[in-house]
Structure 1
């Protein structure tokens, strides 16, 4: 028999948690009783806060092993999912669940990667499909791992929390506009195109007026609940042979398809539904697709409308059809403004996503909603996603180096506006790249003016389509590597924003090369140097 060890009373919910004093004391006692088997006050506090979505992951001493961002070798967005899962083999369930996530810590799911995994493991989060960057691949991996929860002895039992009434005048537990679970409201003001005539891109500067309770800092992201294109919605309704006024969930079918469900890549549950309706070879094809197989080599291209075209004999009831779809997820965008220079306003820098598969034009739901369908005065459901280890240095004298090609410039425009507003004396260096200088030099006038005034100390540019040989920001970094190394020796903080799979990996490779060449280090020591910068908070990334 285990003999309990008495410890002094400790508050398990810290003072920084968003609760009144009465609620905090009550919750501490509740979790102390409900989660006792985890065996230590530290573990109790961590598990309790994970259950409430207000903590970071970490190992639980004396109890179940939780996932942690700091000790996870698979915590690298450049790694492919199979590679991450291979690295996590043999580890406890929570770390393996984390390895299935996209590793971007984007916050789009409402957690960072480790905390989402831990919340599933502790049975406080039942939704297994929230990892938007990971998409269907992550959802399948998580669902496959989650079946182990039914038989595991590691996990704590699910905890039902009934909070006492809040004191009069106290703040709400979840402030409006601070999470996807409690969105606020912003007014769409305007858009303007940033590309010149003839550009292959369509990049918009989007401006919002913020509603009550919405506050942000530079480095934060803005979550937007988009709406599907009405033309797309009506095509699906026509394929179903249904009336747009059919009542679903207390609303019309057209309204539900517009803003409640995703019409993107078809979920496995839709194929399962079709396998019950269809017969013959079509049924077997639908079953194979539901199992994650690709019998005809087109699975990656099948959105909801394409599935209806692929199986024209299937005509499910509208309600069953809607129930088989995934919820329409909010989209996160890096904020490109500073509240110090634009109080009450917020801006984004958004690329409209358009492409063709077969003969059908496809569009990005949120990017084209913001880029063409939202009209001035529209009220949008939104929230501010606080930055996770992506912020300006506390000392304004610190030099900053920013690498942001394409729309990756967004947070660095915000950084520059912020540093200018507070008259930060530290030098600023921006690396920006895009396709062509004449058409794709985003915020050209602003940046040139900052450079002319001496505020933007260095502006290094890279254009990938202006010559026969493609030239990227990482190539420019290597070209000026000696000076970049001097800045790092002077304590500069290094920031990167943009594509996680290719660009971010290539930029990190350039940093390692520069540390080796100009720092006189071996390759292994150069890798360790970059790793040390990350742990010290001097190498920060906002990648997607």
Structure 2
């Protein structure tokens, strides 16, 4: 339909211009334009209403649309929470009114009142939601979830591409919100461990599109990776502090099957602070023997200069492989990129849809050396191959000390990882750096990773129950040091387990002193290899089920730290069994009891 001068308020030149432009516009552009013009007219009519005028509906319906943005995060280790906080600050700087909340603290029934929703969520374990996202995730996927036709949303998913169910939780939220009637402000972004740049790109796209929805009220914005990760401390994940190693001690006795290192690290001059329950991020270096093996296998020159990032920074190849790139983990995305640089047809075959099971099996326990050995000859240059590698991810360790008890220091408890797989000895990148190469006086790039999901009760009189076998003992040493410093009156109960009493009772003299001094009320230990029948912490919990349930009824907070796949799963089931038995409940009632504890932050887990 052509616009005519005679029946319009436009002159000939304006009409011709509009007739040229209007047919080229998409439906969404027309909707945006109508909202923008309506908002402009509303602003001129209302005069002094100012900012309210920019809230006129972008869909040209004459309704006011909110500039409020709700950001919900699900975070296990703290990355999603940190990004949510920074996203909120950036949006506020662009004129939006922002609410940032953990999913566990958000009332799901309020979702139907939200118009602009941003989800920032990590994926935990094998495709599971983080602990503080479980209840909200279950609500959205239940029959109680409301229709959300008026909702605008976008999802930022955090994950690790070495896991089969990469960013699964974010994908599920994205799909479900659309199924419930929501429309996307901006497409979902799936971020790997090095999430700074994609998170910044997502945030820039979200702000730009929110501005369009709001009738162009938001100023143009450029979000850098640094801005997305900016924190108050001068040192952070993107700018780690080079900390001096003060001491490095093997906690296990002679003859032990294990090697557990106790590291004492100086924070002097860093300004870094932490609370019990937080983690320390460490950027390790790859094993020099493994780097040399890779260079030899590919016949690469160690001194060759290669680009290591999009900014064009360069390093000698050996240094890049040692300090910058991950070479010990294979992922499906890496294999897909590598296949383009190999003349070996077997690698293409491994990636076929019929061989997904074989691919999964191949990825397990293999590294870059295996890949280059198994699927040569390689057509790519050293630069092309390193360009497809992931940046070295930080390793997170539960902090094993209290800052109040050890000013300007942070302590770690790290179990050395060594095993044989596919005909070669394998070593944990960071743990073997600590066990074999890190000496007093050396430095280590570190940062503090806050963990709001694993914190001592605000009331020091609240009783606590701690379950931490092996290196899972680390944060509870921090808890006890802190409670001793502040003179906490609340009862405390520790469940610790390992292989042998004589060689593997980590921090034994400290626990015995806390028991003697009354800082620790009660301790139960399980040493699985000291008796014919293997005894673990969950067995000790069952033996104490009556008193354990009494503590729960008295409001105790339960903490679990350590292995997720086995220990944490078994302890969770044991707690349900204890509640079911001692509380005379059905299985379903016991599960609900524990779920309520979790919602009340009385059941907290730091598992890996």
| Structure 1 residue 196 displacement after superposition | 1.2
From 198, 204, 209, the counterpart of 2:266 = 209
Partner Cα distance (2:115, 2:428) in 1: 44
Residue 374 of structure 1 and its aligned partner are, at CA, apart by 2.1
Aligned to 1:328: 392
Q: Structure 1 pair 124/511, CA: closer, same or farther in 2 (3 Å)?
A: same
Given the alignment of the two structures, is residue 390 of structure 1 paired with residue 454 of structure 2, yes or no? Answer: yes
Taking the aligned partners of 1:191 and 1:263, their CA distance within structure 2 comes to 26
1:197 pairs with 242, 249, 254, which one?
A: 254
The one of 466, 490, 494 aligned to 2:554: 490
Determine if the alignment matches structure 1 residue 221 to structure 2 residue 221: no
Q: Is the 8 A contact 2:235 2:270 kept in 1?
A: no
Residue 438 of structure 1, CA deviation: 1.5
Looking at structure 2, the residues matched to 278 and 191 of structure 1 have their Cα atoms a distance apart, in angstroms, of 43
- SS for the counterpart of 2:247 is strand
Is contact 1:222–1:333 with CA below 8 Å preserved after alignment?
yes
The answer to whether the 8 Å contact 1:272/1:290 transfers is no
Does 1:468 pair with 2:532? yes
**Paired position in structure 1 for 2:221:** 161
Residues 206-260 of structure 1: per-residue CA shift (max 9 Å, x gap): 1100142211111110001111011111111111111100001221001100111
Query: What do residues 50-107 of structure 1 show as CA deviations (whole Å, max 9, x unaligned)?
Result: 483464466584435554879x99526799xxx99x9799999989975x858xxxxx
Verify the 8 A CA contact 2:466 2:476 in the aligned structure 1. yes
Task: Give the aligned partner of residue 454 of structure 1.
Answer: 518
User: Is it true that 1:536 corresponds to 2:590 in the alignment?
Assistant: no
Who is 1:22 aligned against? none
Q: Which of 1 and 2 has greater Rg?
A: 2
Partner of 2:295, secondary structure, is helix
Q: Residue 355 of structure 1: SS of its match in structure 2?
A: strand
Which stretches in structure 2 are left out of the alignment for 5+ residues?
A: 1-33, 43-50, 74-81, 89-99, 104-110, 161-165, 175-183, 308-313
> Cα deviation per residue 1:266-307 (whole Å; 9 max; x = unaligned)?
234543454334446335336449985626953323311110
Alignment equivalent of 2:298, drawn from 217, 225, 240: 240
Pairing of 1:13-412 with structure 2 (within 5 A):
39-43=65-69, 50=84, 52-53=86-87, 55-56=100-101, 61-63=113-115, 66-67=118-119, 75=129, 101=159, 128-130=191-193, 161-162=221-222, 173-176=230-233, 179-210=236-267, 211-249=269-307, 250-279=314-343, 281-285=345-349, 287-288=351-352, 294=358, 297-314=361-378, 316-412=380-476
Q: Distance in 1 between matches of 2:401 and 2:342?
A: 52
Deviates more, 1:504-513 or 1:52-61: 52-61
Distance of 1:78 and 1:436 partners within structure 2 = 35
1:541, 1:256 → 2: CA distance? 36
1:525 aligned partner: 589
After TM superposition, give the deviation of residue 516 of structure 1 in Å: 1.5
Distance 1:296 1:534 in 2: 34
Q: Aligned pairs, how many?
A: 482
Pair 78,436 (structure 1): closer, same or farther in 2 beyond 3 Å: farther
Shift of 1:163: 8.2
Distance change in 2, residues 1:88/1:305 (3 Å): farther
SS of corresponding position for 1:186: strand
Q: Deviations over 1:97-129 (max 9, x none)?
A: 75x858xxxxxx9x9x779988xx876996621
**Quick one: distance in 1 between partners of 2:323 and 2:172?**
25
Aligned to 2:8: none
CA distance in 1: counterparts of 2:516 and 2:435, whole angstroms? 31
SS at match of 1:408: helix
More RCO (CA 8 Å, sep 6+): 1
Greater CA drift, 36-45 or 359-368: 36-45
In 2 relative to 1, CA 237–406 (structure 1 residues): closer, same or farther, beyond 3 Å?
Answer: same
TM-score (norm 1): 0.76
Query: How far is the alpha carbon of 1:452 from its aligned partner?
Result: 2.0
| Separation (CA, whole Å) in 2 of partners of 1:221 and 1:525 | 34
Stretches of structure 1 that go unaligned for 5 or more consecutive residues are 8-28, 103-108, 133-141, 165-171
8 Å contact from structure 2 (residues 342, 376) kept in 1 = no
8 A Cα contact 1:464 1:470, kept in partner: yes
Q: Is the 8 A contact 1:390 1:542 kept in 2?
A: yes
- TM-score with structure 2 setting the length: 0.69
Q: C-alpha root-mean-square deviation of aligned residues, in Å? A: 4.6
1:528 CA displacement = 1.2
Taking the aligned partners of 2:353 and 2:293, their CA distance within structure 1 comes to 23
Assess, with a 3 A threshold, how the Cα gap between structure 1 residues 502 and 41 changes in structure 2: closer, same or farther: farther
Q: In the alignment, does 2:424 pair up with 1:424?
A: no
The change in CA–CA distance for 1:87 and 1:326 in structure 2 (over 3 A counts) is farther
**Gap change, CA 1:160 and 1:372, over 3 Å in 2:** farther
The whole-number CA distance in structure 1 between the counterparts of 2:423 and 2:70 is 56
The equivalent residue for 1:516 is 580
Residue aligned with 1:301, SS: coil
Is the CA contact 1:203–1:349 (under 8 Å) kept in the aligned structure 2? yes
CA apart distance, 1:203: 0.6
| In structure 2, distance between residues paired with 1:520 and 1:129 | 45
Deviation at 1:451, TM superposition (A): 1.2
User: Alignment partner of 1:469: what SS?
Assistant: coil
After alignment, is 197-206 or 278-287 more displaced? 278-287
Q: Is the 8 A contact 1:260 1:328 kept in 2?
A: yes
Rounded Cα–Cα distance in structure 1 between residues aligned with 2:355 and 2:239: 34
In structure 2, what is the equivalent of residue 478 of structure 1? 542
